[in-house]
Amino acid sequence: MSFINNSKKKIALIDCNSFYVSCERLFNPKIQKIPVVVLSNNDGCVISRSTEAKRIGIKMGEPYFKVKELVKKNNVQIFSSNYALYGDISRRVMKILKGFSDKIEIYSIDEAFIDLSHIKNELVEDYGKRIKERVLKWTGIPTSVGISNTKTLSKVANHVAKKNKAGVIFLKDNIDEVLKNFDISDVWGVGKQLSKLYLKNGINNALKLKNISNSWVKKSTNVLGAKTVMELRGIPCIELDTEETKRKSCCVSRSFGKKVQSLEKLKESVTTHCLNAAEKIRNDNQTTRSITVFIRTSPFDKNRRYYSNSFTIDLPIATNNSLELVKTAITGLVKIYKHGYFYQKAGIILSKLNEAGEKELNLLTPILENKSQKLMKAMDLTNSKYGRNVISVAQAGINNSWRMRREHSSRIDTASFDSLPKISI
DNA sequence: TCTGGGGTCCTAGGACCC
DNA sequence: TCTGGGGTCCTAGGACCC
């Protein structure tokens, strides 16, 4: 029997405030104090809001067309998302965080857990403040820091820190008081379905969830539900994942700027997605043994019949060859395409990913691979040098009418001096 | 007119085997 | 007419996350 002393464990969650908005603000002094929102791909939904935008009632995830009035009335600045920019800023933030603890889990583009167990209790809040200050000073990105002894509690602490002036909370005493005022649906790991279940049973805040009986949770939910409860009690159940593991699947999909009816146009988009996915896994030195293609009409359109379908094809030999993947995906697409529908989205998923170079036993592989590998390498090199999709395949089409809308892009490029704000003295 | 995209993990159930 | 039990592996679909 072994004892793990968890009483000293301290996990910090550093979360960038309104991350995408903050990134846009770095390069645009005029939008510092006014309401700003960033839209999802295709200018579809609101996915990042400044405090000012939250205050005037723009909700997270709301479709853009529903808030257009509000936007107009309040002179809200709108941006299409620019993931190249956000990814770049994110890497800079994470690099700084790594300087504070090598036990770090980069949890998403805008947040990371770090282990601060080595810092004494009485110093840890100050340490959190130093992290926040350094990230702000070196990147310009504001963050909130929540510290407690499990990941779930540090999420709670972070929530509280976001509303707190200092922006840093070490949640150690009065935990129950905080949990009592913490909405059940805001608890990490409690989504729509679990919320519904808990509310039905009178569990409407985090404290009630913490005090629920073990047998009830196990019976009514699953292991994840039980883990959340334990974590609220201060017992670490969700380990810090410090390994930088490679992805297990790779999905590329897009909604269309305009609804698509023809098989030809669907082929163009599926081809484009395949090329991008193949490039991604080649970048990670991976190969795939299974490709899924899917298409669907809009689930929101009540006037037309809904159709959604997918087709998965297992590949006899693991590959990351663009041409081969395109060919396979198209045969799948043809099987599920139905004439007469207004398609809204298409995509592909590569799964059963493996490390490339783990050779399979097949006599033909070496000869076939050599030639195509050289072609792929040349393609990737050209595209990274001269811009994405400079080299493509004919099937992907050009000037496609189905491509996504992106009408509010700031077009900021961190590799270009032109993007820097100019100061006149 | 207009409603994102990319992941992970878990579970139930089927296929298969001895 | 009677028709086991237990194990593994795989997959699709659901729930959750940001």
A122 an active-site residue? no
**Gap between the Cα atoms of A175 and A165, Å rounded:** 19
Which residue is nearest nucleotide B6, judged by alpha carbon to C1' distance?
Answer: A251
Contact A116, A129 (CB under 8 A): no
Choosing from A111, A231, A268, A369, the catalytic residue is A111
Q: For residue range A60-69, list pLDDT tens digits in order.
A: 999 999 999 9
A358 pLDDT band, cuts 50/70/90, is low
**First-to-last CA distance in chain A?**
70
Place of tokens 């032109």: A418
- Residue A239, amino acid: E
Answer with the residue of higher pLDDT: A141 or A383: A141
- Residues close to nucleic acid strand B (C-beta < 7 A): A 40-42, 44-45, 47, 61, 63-65, 222-224, 247-255, 259, 280, 298, 300-301, 344-345, 347, 404
Domains along the sequence of chain A with CATH: 1-169 (3.30.70.270), 174-245 (1.10.150), 250-396 (3.30.1490.100)
A359 pLDDT band, cuts 50/70/90, is low
Residues 6+ apart with CB under 8 A from A167: A17, A132, A142, A143, A144, A145, A161
Average pLDDT, chain A: 92
Distance A28 CA to B7 C1' (A): 31
Q: For residue range A360-372, list pLDDT tens digits in order.
A: 555 555 566 677 7
A3 pLDDT band, cuts 50/70/90, is very low
Specify the pLDDT at position A366.
58
Residue A268's nearest CA partner among A341, A371, A337 is A337
Distance A46 CA to C1 C1' (A): 67
Which residue is nearest nucleotide B9, judged by alpha carbon to C1' distance?
Answer: A224
Specify the pLDDT at position A401.
77
Specify the pLDDT at position A336.
95
Q: For residue range A391-419, list pLDDT tens digits in order.
A: 777 778 777 778 888 889 998 888 777 77
**Gap between the Cα atoms of A60 and A166, Å rounded:** 24
Distance A216 CA to B9 C1' (A): 22
Specify the pLDDT at position A362.
55
Distance A193 CA to C7 C1' (A): 33
Specify the pLDDT at position A2.
42
What does the pLDDT average to over A80-109? 97
Which residue is nearest nucleotide C11, judged by alpha carbon to C1' distance?
Answer: A312
Distance A410 CA to B13 C1' (A): 50
**Distances in Å between the alpha carbon of A128 and those of A46, A166, A178, A234, A315?**
30, 10, 19, 20, 49
Q: For residue range A314-348, list pLDDT tens digits in order.
A: 998 999 999 999 999 999 999 999 999 999 999 99
How many Å separate Cα A271 from the centre of its chain? 23
pTM for the whole structure: 0.93
**Gap between the Cα atoms of A37 and A374, Å rounded:** 44
- Residues close to nucleic acid strand C (C-beta < 7 A): A 107-111, 155, 187-195, 312, 314
Specify the pLDDT at position A5.
54
Which residue is nearest nucleotide C18, judged by alpha carbon to C1' distance?
Answer: A108
The pair of three-digit structure tokens given for residue A250, joined into one six-digit string:
């790779």
**Distances in Å between the alpha carbon of A34 and those of A25, A53, A78?**
10, 8, 11
Specify the pLDDT at position A382.
79
Q: Give the nucleotide nearest to A281 (CA→C1').
A: B6
* Bases in strand B with any atom closer than 7 Å to a protein CB: 1-11
Distance A155 CA to C18 C1' (A): 13
Specify the pLDDT at position A379.
77
Q: How many CB atoms lie within 10 A of CB A326?
A: 22
* Bases in strand C with any atom closer than 7 Å to a protein CB: 11-12, 14-18
Residues 6+ apart with CB under 8 A from A188: A151, A152, A155, A156, A228
Specify the pLDDT at position A346.
97
Residues 6+ apart with CB under 8 A from A306: A296, A297, A298, A299
Specify the pLDDT at position A1.
41
Q: For residue range A190-214, list pLDDT tens digits in order.
A: 999 999 999 999 999 999 999 999 9
Phi first, then psi, for residue A52 (nearest 5°) are: -65, -40
Q: Give the nucleotide nearest to A47 (CA→C1').
A: B4
